[in-house]
Amino acid sequence: MSKPAESTPPQAAPPSRPGRSLRGKTVALLLATTGVVVLAAVLIGHYVADDIRQNLGTALARNQAQLTKQRILSAVGREMALSQRFAESTVLREWMADEQNPTKADRFFKEGEGFRRAFTDQSYFAALASSHHFYFADPEAAPRAAMRYTASPGNPDDAWFFATLKKNQGYSLNVDFDKKLQVTNVWINIVVHDEQARPLGIAGTGLNLSRFLANVLANREPGVVTMILDQNGTIVAHPDTRRMEYATAGKQNSEKTVFRLVERTTDQEALRQALASAMADDDESTATLRLRLEGAPSLAAAAYIPSLRWTVLTAVDLDTSRVFDARLSTGLLLGTLLLLALLVGVYTAGLNRLVLRPLAQLTAAVRRIGAGHYDERLQSPRDDEIGELTRAFDTMTQQVREHSDNLERLVAERTRELAEAHRKVTDSIRYASLIQNAILPDRALDATLQGQYFVLWRPRDVVGGDFYLYRHDERGCLFGVVDCAGHGVPGACMTMIAHAALEVAASDTPWDDPAALLRRTDSAARAMLPDDERMRQIATSMDMGLAYVDLASRQVTFSGARLGLFWSDGSDCQEVPGHRRGINDRKAGDYQNVQVPLAPGRSFYLVSDGLLDQAGGEQGYGFGASRLTDWVRQHAGLPLEAQKEALARALQDYQGQHPQRDDITILAFRFDDRR
C-alpha cells in the first residue's frame, strides 16, 4: 500500500472577538420557557389531578360500600327479624316436637300463613330435625305448607341442613339454588330450639336472588363493582353470578373467594388486613385500600355488617370510572394551553432572530461547500458564537479541500481491500453450505421413498442451524428433524456437533427406540461440548424429533426433545408433543416413546419451531401450531409433492413482507401401501 501524501498543516482560525454570549441568551430563554411549562403542566396538571382522582375514588368506594350496607340491612334486616319471630313461635315449636299431631299441625299452618303473607317473597320453610322433612309454603301452596322432600345426609344438596343443625349458631344466611324447589334464593336459616335449647329444626324464608342483587348491588356508575363476602372472604353475592359461591352453609372450603380476583400476594395480604380491620371496628367504620383487582388498579372500601356476619366490598376501577370529571379541568387546561402558546411564540420569535436565521444562512453556505464548491468563502460580521462558528467553518473548508484528494485515494484502496475480504468470506460461507448440504439425506430419500415424503428446508441465511436425517434398514426407516440453537454460521457449526452426536448414538443404539437414541445423543453431545462457565453463557441446546417407522408392525414410534410430531388422516390433525427439555439442556430429559399406528393414507409431519414462530399476517404474529393444524386438515389428503407446494405457498402468503426469523424445516412422510 502506498504512503499517504503529506497534508498541508491546518491554518489557525482567526482569534475570536469579545462580544455578548449567544449561549447565555439561548440558555436563559430556554430555562425561562421550560420552567414555566414544567411548573404549569407537571405540578398543576399531574399532582393536582391525580390527587383529586385518588380522593374522589376513595370517597366513592366508601360511600358506595356504606350505601350498599344500608340497603342490605333494609332488605335483609326486616326478613331476619320476622324470621326470628317465626322461629320463636310456640305453635311452631310444639308442631316440630310432635309433627304427626293433626291439631298441632293445623294450628301451625294457620299461624304460618300469616307469617307467609308478611314475608317479602310471601314464602317460608320449616325443616324438622327429627324426620328431616322439608316443608315449603308459597302463594301456590297457600293456605297450607306442603312437605316437599326429605333431606338425606348423603345428598350433597342437603348438606346445608345438617351443617346448620351441627353448628347450632342460631341463624345463618345461605345463597343457594334448591333443585327440588327450582328456586335460587338468599335463604335465612333460623335454628328452632326447645325449652332445653335442643335443636328442633330450621325455619325461615328466602329472598329471590335476582331481585336481591338488583335492589342491593345495583350500580349505574361505570367501573364500580360491589360484592358481599362472608367471614372467609367467599363471594356470596356479586353482580356477575358466575363469581358467586352457592350453598356455603354446607361447604368447608370455597374456590370462589375475593382473593382469587387479586393476583399479587402483597395485595392479597392487604385485603385480608382490611377485611379484618372492618370486622374488628364498629359497624359504622369503613376500611379502605389500594390494590389491583382482576388486573385493574382499584380503590376498595370494606364495611362489615355484624348482625349478618357479612362484609360489603366496593371496588372502583380508576381506569374506567368517572370519579374525576374532565370538564372540571377544561378551564385549567385551556389556560395552560394559552400560556404555553404565548411562551412558545415569544421563544420562537427570539430564537429565530438570534439563532435560527443566522444558522439558516450558515447552513446554506455549508451545503454549497458540501456539494464540492470549496471556493465558497464564509464571512460574518457578528461577534458572538455564530460569527465565530462561521469563521471556523471557513478555515475548515480550506483544510477539507487539501485533504479531499488524499482521502479519495485512500477510500479507493480500502474499498478494494473490503471487496476482496467480502469475496473471501462469501466463498467460505458458500463452501460451508456445500458441506452442510452433504450431511442431508436427500439421495437416500429419493432412492428409497420416491413420492412418500417431502422436505421443506429453508435456512434463514446461507447456512443454518436446522437439518434433517433419514436412515433405513430391513424393518423400517428412521426420520428426524434437528433444530440447533442459533442460525447462520454459529447454527451451522452446532449442526456439525449434533450430526456427530447422532452418528455416535446411531452406531450403538437400536434405531427403533427413538427415546434411547435421544438419551444417547444427549450424552454424546455433552461429552463433545466442554462443561465450563464460558459454555454455559451461550446457547448450545438442540431441539430434536425422531420417528421410527416399523413397516412390518405398521407402527410409528416417536420421541421428541422440544419438537413434536403432527399426524392426520385428512379429517383431523393430532400432535404428539415432545419432552420439555432439549438435547444438551441444563438438565437431561426423561424421553419416552409414543406409538402411532401407520394407517394407510395417514400423513406425518416433523416441524422445527422456525415455521411456528415465523411472523406474518397483518399483526405480525407467529404462524403458530393452530394455523399449521388447520392447514394439515385441509391438505393431508393430497399427494406429498402437492402438499409441499401448497405449504410453500401458504407460508409465503402468510409471511408477506416480514423477514424470515429462523431456519425452517418440515419433513413429511406417508406410507399408503402395506410393504
Closest to 514 in 3D by CA, of 576, 464, 574: 576
| Cβ proximity of 88 and 190 under 8 Å | no
pLDDT of residue 6: 45
pLDDT of residue 7: 44
Give the chain's domains with CATH numbers: 88-212 (3.30.450.20), 440-670 (3.60.40.10)
DSSP secondary structure letters along 273-307: HHHHHHHHS-TT--EEEEEEETTEEEEEEEEEETT
Q: Is omega for the bond preceding 10 within 30 degrees of 0, making it cis?
A: no
pLDDT of residue 330: 65
H or E, element range at 187: strand 183-193
- The pLDDT-based confidence of 222 (bands split at 50, 70, 90) is confident
Surface-to-core class of residue 3, CB atoms within 10 Å of its CB (0-12 exposed, 13-18 middle, 19+ buried)? exposed
pLDDT of residue 2: 41
H or E, element range at 312: strand 310-317
**Lowest-pLDDT range of 21-30, 163-172, 518-527, 593-602:** 21-30
| Pairwise pLDDT comparison (65 vs 589), residue with the higher score | 589
Cα radius of gyration rounded to whole Å, the chain: 41
- The pLDDT-based confidence of 18 (bands split at 50, 70, 90) is very low
Per-residue pLDDT at 296 exceeds 50:
yes
pLDDT of residue 12: 44
Tell me the average pLDDT across 99-116: 89
Report d(CA 675, CA 658) in Å as an integer: 44
Surface-to-core class of residue 444, CB atoms within 10 Å of its CB (0-12 exposed, 13-18 middle, 19+ buried)? middle
pLDDT of residue 49: 63
Could you read off the pLDDT of 453-484 as tens digits, one per residue? 999 999 998 888 899 999 999 999 999 999 99
The two counts, helices (H) then strands (E), for the chain are 17, 23
Average pLDDT, the chain: 82
